[in-house]
Amino acid sequence: MRQKTGGVSTMGAIFKMKIMVLTVLAGAILLPSIAFAGVIEDAQQDYQWRLSLVTEQSQRLDMWYAANEGKGISEGQLTYLKSLTDEFVNREDAAIDSGRKYKKALIEHMNEYRREWVLAEIDLIEKNEEISNRDKSIVLANYKLKEDTYKVLKEYEEKPSTKPKGAIQEITLGSLDETRTVEYNEYLVYSFSGTRSVSVNVSLEVINGNAVDVFLLDSGKFTNYQSTMLGGGSESFDSFAAGQGKNVKSKSYAWELPQTDRYYIVIDNTVQPAEGAKPTGQVDVRIKIAREEPFNSKSTPGFEAVYSIMVLAVFFPFIQKRLKSTLKK
């Protein structure tokens, strides 16, 4: 009969060699019996055929692993590998079952054959079954490794980027009143140029969604903020206290610009900073930004004339009294 030995090839698949053990069935029979010889011969031939099918399928697996060594795997390739693996396991199971039937026939008709030959055949069948079970475990483990690798790579490819996205809207200080949607893990920036002593009134309110973080930054602070969002450069950033709010649903403040610069009002719906709000989805925010000029007499039309009239009104009685006194003299 055929004996099989097994081992793992360098490609990780199963490599099997089948060694033919030539058996002269007629010479093994002690008591000539055509009926007995037919039963044993049929069982032996079926077993050898099943083993040849296993060898054939193991070669297909070897070829697949050799062709795909060191490469990624697609869903279609994984499906094909599973079909090869399942077929290999099915053929091994069929060979094991056929071997057990052959073994049973040998035991039942042991007295009709030389004992040493029967025992040798049974020993080969039992060894082959051990090898088959080991080979099935190896093939299934190889497939599981490929499947796990595919799942990890697919999850990585489909996982949404954790890097925040930002949108910067440049505005001219005046009167802004609008509602904007800020998506999950995104931040919205209102950027404007301002001169020293100009005041701004800012009001923000989350009208739909979770709390957010809000910041007020100048050009230097905004550079640090962007570095934090991109995961490089500064690990932290500073915000002007008047315009900062973490994990808030509303924020209002009036603020005088300390110097001429570009300023940034940030609505942050990202996962950073760590101690800030924890976004769960998009938010709708209403924002109002208004400019206030510093009080200055020169900027008020007719102020000088009004001021002059007020001065005359205050001092006119004294001037009139002194004038009358002078005339009497």
Task: Give the DSSP per-residue string, 69-128.
Answer: TT----HHHHHHHHHHHHHHHHHHHHHHHHHHHHHHHHHHTGGGB-HHHHHHHHHHHHHH
Highest mean pLDDT among 126-130, 148-152, 220-224: 126-130
The full set of domain ranges for the chain reads 2-158, 165-294
Q: Please tell me the distance from the alpha carbon of residue 122 to that of residue 320, in angstroms, as a whole number.
A: 143
Q: Could you tell me where the beta strands, DSSP code E, fall in the chain?
A: 2-8, 14-20, 165-170, 175-182, 186-194, 199-208, 212-218, 245-248, 250-256, 261-269, 283-292
Q: Please tell me the distance from the alpha carbon of residue 107 to that of residue 51, in angstroms, as a whole number.
A: 21
Length reported for the chain: 329
Q: Please tell me the distance from the alpha carbon of residue 135 to that of residue 90, in angstroms, as a whole number.
A: 12
Q: Please tell me the distance from the alpha carbon of residue 191 to that of residue 207, in angstroms, as a whole number.
A: 22
DSSP-assigned beta bridge partners for residue 288: 177, 203
Per-residue pLDDT reduced to its tens digit, 178-202 = 999 999 999 999 999 989 989 999 9
Query: Half-sphere exposure of 50 toward its Cβ, with a 13 Å CA cutoff?
Result: 25
Per-residue pLDDT reduced to its tens digit, 35-68 = 556 889 999 999 999 999 999 999 999 999 999 8
Provide CB contacts within 8 A for 322, sequence distance 6+.
Answer: none
Q: Which amino acid is at 36?
A: F
CB contact at 8 A, 22 and 68: no
Residue 82 to residues 11, 66, 75, 113, 137: CA-CA distances in angstroms?
A: 17, 16, 11, 43, 14
DSSP-assigned beta bridge partners for residue 206: 285
Q: Cα torsion for 315, 319, 322, 326, to the nearest 10°?
A: 170
Q: What is the pLDDT of residue 96?
A: 97
Confidence of residue 163 (pLDDT cuts 50, 70, 90): confident
Per-residue pLDDT reduced to its tens digit, 204-256 = 999 999 999 999 999 999 998 988 887 744 457 889 999 999 999 999 999 99
CB contact at 8 A, 246 and 277: yes
pTM for the complete prediction? 0.48
Class of domain 165-294: mainly beta
